[in-house]
Amino acid sequence: MDSILVTGNGALSGQIPIAGAKNACLTLMPATLLSEEPLTLTNAPRLSDIKTMTALLQSLGAEVSTLQDGQVIAMSSHDLTSHTADYEIVRKMRASNLVLGPLLARFGQAVVSLPGGCAIGARPMDLHTEGLEALGAEIELKDGYLHASAPRGLTGAVHEMRFASVGATENIVMAATLAKGTTVLKNAAREPEIVDLVECLRKMGAQISGEGTSTIEIQGVDRLHGATHQVVTDRIELGTYMLAPAICGGEVELLGGRLSLVGAFVEKLDAAGIDVEETAKGLKVRRRNGRVQAVDVTTEPFPGFPTDLQAQMMALLCTAEGTSVLEEKIFENRFMHAPELTRMGARIDVQGGTATVTGVDRLKGAPVMATDLRASVSLILAGLAAEGETVVSRVYHLDRGYEHVVQKLEGVGAKIERIKS
């Protein structure tokens, strides 16, 4: 297993290009199952999660090929050979469950393994199944697999979700595009990745309105046609790299960044003493003079502070002036980066879903272990500003969501290298 060596090397300066959104691409790819015509995605990120989704779609019989060094994904699911998403793939990546809605809508059947828990939580699928059953699906759990069928097709319905689940919103919206009649989905998630999915479905002929609000309305159609769609910029990669100059000092421009993608996050950066300026090419980030100031953070569904930036923000607050309280309201176990940051000299007290961080002057480099995708990059960020060397092990977590991390950070002056094992 590879590791990454980071050495604190002072202020950063230069530009970092931001890739297409992993969490948009992972729902856009299963959308190919809704049509027998080809769907092509551009600006796709080069990540191991995308390779996993590719393997899953191919296991169903879809044709998936990548061009231009992985930035273009050409897909076609004219003839499928299977409707089963195998446990071996789903357990590695929960987003595999996003084939459930499309398979049900187009073929009237799907067998999808429950993902099982992961490092950050139990990750159940009850919100997905409740929504699909509201559309007339019959779903039974057997041997760890959801066996779903809609022998008479799906029928539009009014359905209110108990929680604004991102994945459940995506599965239900995709299924509803081919249902008979109208679906009104209430308490829908509002993430930009859902807006991006709807824009792609609309290009395929879907009749949808309300994306980005809590109520999405879908008029079912008989069939969808092919399309070409550019994947939206990755707001979590964007937010992650905005923290690099915040933690190290200096000024970095994030190419492709837009304020609309990171509103609540930028508000917190401003309160912490970080300036963010929108330019023609992206977002310019610099730390105001002096130390970062402590701020309190509570994670919420979009447009609130993203849970996927909580670990990275904690790394910044470890060296802030004062005490910060971080509340993780989305997942039940998303503070595994805390004990690793503590090894670097951070002062963090975790009580259930609340972490209290008392800032220290400077962290000290140490060997640390990545436990999940966002925790891994939080440790990289901490290492950028720490005194001495930090070795982050198990970086396969990092490869799931961040392409070319070493090159992107080296490009702005970081001292960082990948150690092959």
Q: What is the DSSP string of 259-314?
A: GGGSHHHHHHHHHHTEEEEE-SSEEEEEEPSSPPBP--EEB-STTSB-GGGHHHHH
Nearest Cα residue to 56 out of 35, 79, 83: 83
Q: What is the DSSP string of 158-215?
A: EEE-SS--HHHHHHHHHHHTTSBSEEEEES----HHHHHHHHHHHHTT-EEE-TTSSE
330 is in an annotated binding site: yes
> Considering the complex, what minimum distance in angstroms separates the CB of residue 26 from ligand EPZ?
5
Crossing angle of the two packed helices 166-176 and 126-134, in degrees rounded to 10: 20
The identity of residue 207, as a single letter, is Q
91 is in an annotated binding site: no
Token look-up 């039974």 returns 140
**Could you list the residues that contact ligand EPZ (CB under 6 A)?**
22-23, 26, 94-95, 121-128, 163, 165-168, 307-308, 330-331, 373-374, 401
Nearer to ligand EPZ, 18 or 412 (CB): 18
125 is in an annotated binding site: yes
Q: Is 118 in the active site?
A: yes
Terminal Cα-to-Cα distance of the chain (whole angstroms): 5
Nearest Cα residue to 137 out of 173, 84, 101: 101
399 is in an annotated binding site: no
> Considering the complex, what minimum distance in angstroms separates the CB of residue 126 from ligand EPZ?
5
The alpha carbon of residue 222 and the mean position of all alpha carbons in its chain are separated, in whole angstroms, by 31
Nearer to ligand EPZ, 7 or 187 (CB): 187
162 is in an annotated binding site: no
> Considering the complex, what minimum distance in angstroms separates the CB of residue 302 from ligand EPZ?
7
The alpha carbon of residue 304 and the mean position of all alpha carbons in its chain are separated, in whole angstroms, by 15
123 is in an annotated binding site: yes
> Considering the complex, what minimum distance in angstroms separates the CB of residue 184 from ligand EPZ?
19
126 is in an annotated binding site: yes
Nearer to ligand EPZ, 235 or 287 (CB): 235
Candidate list 25, 118, 248, 318, residue with the active-site label: 118
> Considering the complex, what minimum distance in angstroms separates the CB of residue 84 from ligand EPZ?
20
Nearer to ligand EPZ, 241 or 331 (CB): 331
Distance between CA 333 and CA 313 in Å, rounded? 16
**Reduced to 3 states, what is the DSSP secondary structure of residue 77?**
coil
Nearer to ligand EPZ, 45 or 345 (CB): 45
Torsion angle of alpha carbons 291, 240, 165, 230, nearest 10°?
140
Task: Give the active site residues.
Answer: 118
Residue positions in the annotated binding site for UDP-N-acetyl-alpha-D-glucosamine? 94, 123-127, 308, 330
Residue positions in the annotated binding site? 22-23, 94, 123-127, 308, 330
